[in-house]
Amino acid sequence: DGTQHEPRQGPQLLALQAQILASPLLFAQNPSQAWQFLTEQISRALYADRVSVWLFSAADILQCIDLFEYKNKSHHQGGSLQRSKYPLYFRALTQDVLIAASDAATHAATAEFNDGYLQSAGICSMLDAVIQSEQGLCGVICIEQVSTSRHWTVDEQHFVTAMASVASTVHTFSQHLSLQRDYQLLLDKQEMASRHGRIGFWEASTVNDDLWWSP
């Protein structure tokens, strides 16, 4: 809306964090709903122009899962970043949990974005938080301010770090859902094959003498 807002203080951000954590949308059956909810809530909490979530689709490629733009109230996805093109940024992600760039064009970790990405989108400041999983680095939350540069307060940095932990939980849950769907699909194919092939299965338990037969 173009209005300049004073940054929210720690207690305000903690209250918003609690509201976000309490939402069932974080664990929606459709993971895209969870990502859209998270990016939008972070944008509104920090009065941030752009908030996106990026996950590794391969060892050296970050894929944009969702980008929320506050001005247009719109969601996008599909962009990608390749490690070989932005080595300093990817190195920073492995060394730090947070990249706070008030001047993204000159910051050591984000300056290599300047010629293309930053200038074309009008991005002045970036605040990126690393998303970790049990396997290690799995993605990043990227917060961007356009038109004017911005100093990221300590409270805002703590909030974004907490949101990265939330994103890690959402990512783990979405992976679990995917595994469940794959397993159910396998069971369905097995049942179809046994039905058409007129093959039956049985299973006996030596513990409680239960006996199970396939249909």
Nearest-angstrom CA–CA distance, 159 and 96: 16
pLDDT at 62: 94
Q: Which two tokens stand for residue 99?
A: 């990249």
Q: Which two tokens stand for residue 117?
A: 């990405």
> Which residues does the chain have with pLDDT short of 50?
none
Task: Give kind and range of the element (H or E) at residue 100.
Answer: strand 98-101
Rg from Cα positions in the chain? 22
pLDDT at 181: 63
Q: pLDDT tens digits, residue range 135-169?
A: 788 999 999 999 899 999 999 999 999 999 999 98
